[in-house]
Copies of this chain bind each other. A is one copy, B any other.
Amino acid sequence: MRTLRVALGERSYPIHVGSGLLGDAGLIAPLLAQKRAAVVTNATVAPLYLGRLSAALAAAGVDVIPVVLPDGEEHKNWQTLNLIFDALIERRAERRTTLIALGGGVVGDMTGFAAATWQRGAPFIQVPTTLLAQVDSSVGGKTAINHPRGKNMIGAFYQPRLVLADLDTLSTLPERELKAGLAEVIKTALIRDASFFGWIEANIGALLSRDVAALEHAVLRCCEIKAEVVAADETEQDLRAILNFGHTFGHAIEAGLGYGHWLHGEAIGAGMVMAADLSRRLGGLDEGTANRITRLIERTGLPIAGPAFTAERYIELMSVDKKVRDGTLQFVVLEGLGKARVRSDAPPATVKNTLSAWATASVPTLPG
């Protein structure tokens, strides 16, 4: 087991990465303010891992309240969130009852938001079981649900007390989700670490075949980078926005297709190709580097073209995103591998050229 720390003053917390962590309640139980915890998961993860985690906690004397949600981004809404609150009320959970998210990004975001708002704030622990959640969404304290017309529009910045990334859980991850998680690994390298990008190019085969050492390196390096960015800017005043590379386009793809058609990471795959293309048109990347990025996303098995909505539709979808400021669209662009910044001066005609080039996939299409 390797341990990192997210440095946020009194809200600092550790990230443990390793094997066999789910069955080791000694990592969780000592942190509980009260020997009760709600373990929130979904119908896919529950049969695989809920028993193992619950049994370990129960053996440590913890009273476990299991909450099993339906699986999928299309359930990341008020109705599903209320299932968590209903269970907490039913079992008389208190303000000091800890909420543990066992699952991927959707479970983590919803459980975190439930913890942020249950009795105005209950303790929260992340146990991510997908690659995407281990490398990205479980770290940093962003929690949210979707509005029918905008992704993650309703949420809170709310830090967990602990992130427990058990690499063993990646063995059961569907192929499509593994690839979606790799999209965020590639993103993390692109915005902050050119040599890590080179490492991914060299090891994409090992990652796709779930080589444990390769996965461990990727998870650790992503958590390190994310922890560093989040520590510098917890509530996304400036620097943190670079973590959204590919996300302005990607969120438009998700919202336009309807949540649950493409996985988040798939939309981000195509979104990064678009963002790299835009960076090139704005002079931040040379053509060779932009092509290298597209090539790696393609080798990962992710879509490189977005759905063929019109440019106007993309712009409309992007206009309700959180990354709008004073009516101007903001894009994270690269200025070389490993260097990102936010630009709000991208000319609309240039954005449209990018969309003409890459918004070409037939709709609806389910990759994989």
Contacts and interface: CB of A to CB of B under 8 A. Distances in A.
Interface of A: 34, 78, 82, 85, 89, 92, 94-96, 113, 116-121, 142-144, 147, 149-150, 152-157, 235-236, 319-320, 322, 324-327
Contact of A92 (B156, B157, B235, B320): B320
Copies in the complex: 2
A89 B326 contact: no
Contacts of A113: 117
Given A82-B78, A147-B85, A154-B118, A92 B142 contact: no
A322 B153 contact: no
B157 A121 contact: yes
Given A78-B82, A95-B322, A325-B96, A153 B121 contact: no
B153 A156 contact: no
Contacts of A34: 326
B150 A89 contact: yes
22 contacts: A85-B147, A85-B153, A85-B154, A89-B147, A89-B149, A89-B150, A89-B320, A92-B320, A94-B324, A94-B327, A96-B325, A117-B117, A117-B154, A117-B155, A119-B153, A119-B155, A120-B156, A120-B235, A120-B236, A120-B322, A121-B157, A156-B156
A82 B156 CA distance: 16
A297 to B, nearest CB: 28
Contact of A319 (B92, B95, B119): B92
A236 B322 CA distance: 31
A161 to B, nearest CB: 15
Contacts of A118: 153-154
Residue of A142, A152, A320 with most partner-chain B CB within 10 A: A320
A243 B343 CA distance: 47
A113 B113 CA distance: 13
A18 B326 CA distance: 33
A89 B317 CA distance: 11
Contacts of A324: 92, 94
Contacts of A78: 78, 82
Given A78-B82, A324-B94, A89 B153 contact: yes
